A = this chain, B = another copy of it.
Amino acid sequence: MLFLARMDVTFPESMSDETKAEFMAREKEYSGNLQRTGKMRDIWRVVGEYSNYSVYDVADNDELHAILSGFPMYPYMKIKVTPLAQHPNAIK
């Protein structure tokens, strides 16, 4: 079952560059694991913004919320989730 998420990241003014770099490293690992297990099918950068669109393949809403709220940067993200269904014109 697929969901599209848009995530916008805003770091607080007081966060040091070191802390940011740490968050980014943990995020990269977390995100890589989600992709290797097939939970995250795609992740793209929105051009010009500290934002992504990403696609999740999960069993249910609870699993999706667990995944999203597990992102290291979750407290600094604004996330909007769109549930996706099979499109009648899709050939796969």
Contact = CB atoms under 8 A, between A and B. Distances in A.
Given A48-B5, A61-B47, A65-B48, A27 B80 contact: no
A69 to B, nearest CB: 7
Interface string A65-83: 1001100000000111111
Given A1-B60, A83-B64, A69 B48 contact: yes
Contacts of A82: 46-47, 53
A19 interface: no
Interface string A34-77: 01100000111111110011010000111011001100000000
A65 B47 contact: yes
